[in-house]
């Protein structure tokens, strides 16, 4: 694999820390700012919606820029946004700063995915995407537990200062290692590319991503309260348990990429089935400490096993459309799923049936994503069947 892929991994690490670390600090943020846990959870939804809004817009606006310049500019936004989070005087300011930071997220992974696939042979593209997304998995196994511990010991603001420093370092690594590109990332008409995004196969692929991944964040957003209030762990045990989740992410991410390079459609279906099963069984696992820790790891593996396959699936359905735009739309779809999941989890807590039922509800959401994927496959097969029938006639 080209060394430039690991520069993209460095940027993904910084973004991964700021996206996920807030989940381990919901109790601290809610107490300090005087809001409920459900309100604090909406900081995750706000970030996700910022990705949804920013990804297609910024990708279209920067479509004719050199890719390296785009990536550097995005890391500048990311660093400034995290510094603003650390300085936030109230909940509203913190939400606005989180949304600003999120604007860098979708376009970075959208453009970065295209750069990654352009650096390798066609049969290695899903693996290249998986390597870039390894930055997210390492962020979870190292950055998020450390950030959670730092926030619990020195206040949640110290965590965002640390993330801003990570952003500055990632910016420098990208500037040094990512090769210069002479051409713009997209030479075509962004309006035509946007129109292509409205094709049925692409829309069904994006909807699969939204629903398939929403179940992950319905559970993971409230993992700290679940582990402390249901399983009975002390608050100090949350950080070590998140290490198990991060380990699962790394394993699942790499396996998902390898399998998708061999059998893309089968991998998409198989990973969604596995994720739904893990979510459903976690409803019961949370009542036993050993089982809860094991299923936190399994959740990480099942969740990230879907990422590279779903990303490649949407890219394959986009066909001749602008690849950066298609990739960014799917990153937006992942984060729309994040926002939906966090909102559903909060609604289950506030309006019933309660915190312990979130995993079961999450499994049903992921199964809805599986149903959309199966529908898409069936509709894709119809033209081929029609052609075969006409040929036999």
pLDDT in tens, 297-333: 999 899 989 988 888 888 777 765 566 677 778 888 8
The backbone torsions φ and ψ at residue 155, rounded to the nearest 5 degrees and listed phi first, read 95, 145
Average pLDDT over residues 120-138: 79
Contacts of 241 (CB under 8 A, 6+ apart): 227, 233, 292, 293, 296
- The answer to whether 4 and 177 are in contact (CB under 8 A) is yes
Instruction: Choose the weakest-confidence range: 129-133, 159-163, 183-187.
Output: 183-187
pLDDT top residue among 2 and 172 = 172
Return the exposure string of 83-92: e unless at least 16 CB atoms fall within 10 Å of the residue's CB, then b.
bbbbebeebe
Task: For residue range 248-280, list pLDDT tens digits in order.
Answer: 888 888 888 888 888 888 999 999 999 999 999
Does the pLDDT value for residue 244 go beyond 60? yes
Query: What are the angstrom distances between the C-alpha of 2 and each of 7, 69, 115, 305?
Result: 10, 20, 11, 22
Give the pLDDT of residue 104.
Answer: 84
> Nearest CA to 228 among 355, 44, 47?
355
Q: Which pLDDT score is estimated for 36?
A: 84
Q: Computed from CA positions of residues 258, 261, 266, 271, in that sequence, does the dihedral angle turn out positive or negative?
A: positive
Q: What is the CATH number of the domain that holds 199?
A: 1.20.1250.20
The domain total for the chain is 1
* Bigger pLDDT: 48 vs 230: 230
The pLDDT assigned to 276 comes to 95
The boundaries of the domain holding residue 364 are: 4-179+187-392
Rounded average pLDDT over 126-133:
81
Tell me which of 120-129, 174-183, 185-194 is least confident.
185-194
Q: Which of 130, 128, 30 is nearest to 349 (CA)?
A: 30
Q: Cα(212)–Cα(356) distance, rounded to whole angstroms?
A: 20
**Site of tokens 């990480």:** 300
In the structure, what pLDDT confidence band is assigned to residue 2 with cuts at 50, 70 and 90? confident
Say which range, 68-82, 234-248, 318-332, has the weakest mean pLDDT.
318-332
Binned at pLDDT 50, 70 and 90, residue 147 comes out as confident
Q: Which long-range contacts (CB under 8 A, 24 or more apart) does 344-353 make?
A: 344/214, 344/218, 345/41, 345/217, 345/218, 345/219, 345/221, 345/222, 346/38, 346/41, 346/42, 346/221, 346/222, 348/218, 349/37, 349/38, 349/222, 350/38
Length of the chain: 393
Place 189 in a pLDDT band, splitting at 50, 70 and 90.
low
**pLDDT of 125 above 80:** no
Residues 6 and 131: beta-carbon distance below 8 Å: yes
Q: For residue 388, what pLDDT band results from cuts at 50, 70 and 90?
A: very low
**Per-residue pLDDT for 23 more than 50?**
yes
Cis peptide bond N-terminal to 141, omega within 30: no
Residue 366 has pLDDT above 90, yes or no: yes
Q: 34 pLDDT exceeds 90? A: no
Structure tokens at 262: 């061999």
Q: Cα-Cα-Cα-Cα dihedral of 66, 98, 95, 26, to 10°?
A: 160
């Amino acid at each position: 694999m080209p060394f430039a892929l690991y520069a993209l991994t460095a940027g993904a690490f910084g973004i991964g820390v700021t996206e996920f670390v807030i989940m381990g600090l919901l109790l601290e943020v809610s107490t300090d700012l005087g809001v409920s846990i459900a309100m604090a959870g909406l900081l995750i939804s706000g970030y996700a919606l910022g990705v949804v809004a920013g990804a297609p817009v910024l990708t279209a606006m920067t479509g004719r820029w050199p890719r390296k310049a785009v990536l550097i500019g995005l890391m500048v936004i990311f660093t400034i946004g995290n510094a603003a989070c650390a300085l936030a005087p109230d909940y509203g300011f913190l939400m606005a700063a989180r949304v600003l930071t999120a604007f860098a997220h979708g376009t970075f992974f959208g453009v970065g995915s295209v750069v990654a696939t352009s650096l390798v042979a066609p049969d290695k593209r899903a693996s290249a995407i998986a390597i870039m997304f390894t930055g997210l998995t390492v962020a979870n196994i190292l950055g998020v537990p450390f950030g959670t511990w730092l926030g619990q010991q020195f206040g949640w603001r110290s965590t965002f200062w640390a993330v801003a420093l990570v952003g500055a370092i990632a910016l420098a690594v990208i500037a040094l290692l990512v090769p210069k590109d002479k051409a713009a990332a997209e030479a075509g008409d962004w309006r035509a590319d946007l129109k292509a995004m409205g094709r049925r196969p692409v829309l069904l692929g994006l909807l699969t991503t939204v629903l398939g991944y929403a179940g992950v964040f319905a559970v993971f957003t409230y993992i700290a309260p679940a582990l402390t209030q249901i399983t009975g762990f002390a608050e100090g045990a949350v950080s070590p348990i998140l290490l198990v989740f991060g380990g699962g992410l790394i394993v699942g991410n790499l396996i998902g990429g390898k399998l998708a390079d061999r059998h893309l459609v089968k991998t998409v279906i198989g990973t969604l089935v596995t994720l739904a099963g893990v979510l459903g069984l976690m409803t019961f696992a949370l009542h036993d400490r050993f089982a809860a820790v094991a299923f936190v790891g399994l959740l990480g593996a099942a969740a990230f096993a879907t990422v590279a396959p779903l990303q490649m699936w949407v890219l394959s359905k986009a066909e001749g459309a602008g690849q950066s735009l298609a990739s960014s739309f799917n990153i937006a779809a992942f984060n729309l799923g994040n926002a939906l999941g966090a909102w559903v989890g909060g609604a289950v807590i506030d309006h019933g049936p309660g915190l312990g039922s979130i995993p079961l509800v999450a499994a049903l959401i992921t199964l809805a994503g599986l149903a959309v994927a199966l529908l898409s496959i069936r509709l894709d097969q119809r033209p081929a069947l029609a052609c075969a029938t006409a040929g036999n006639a």
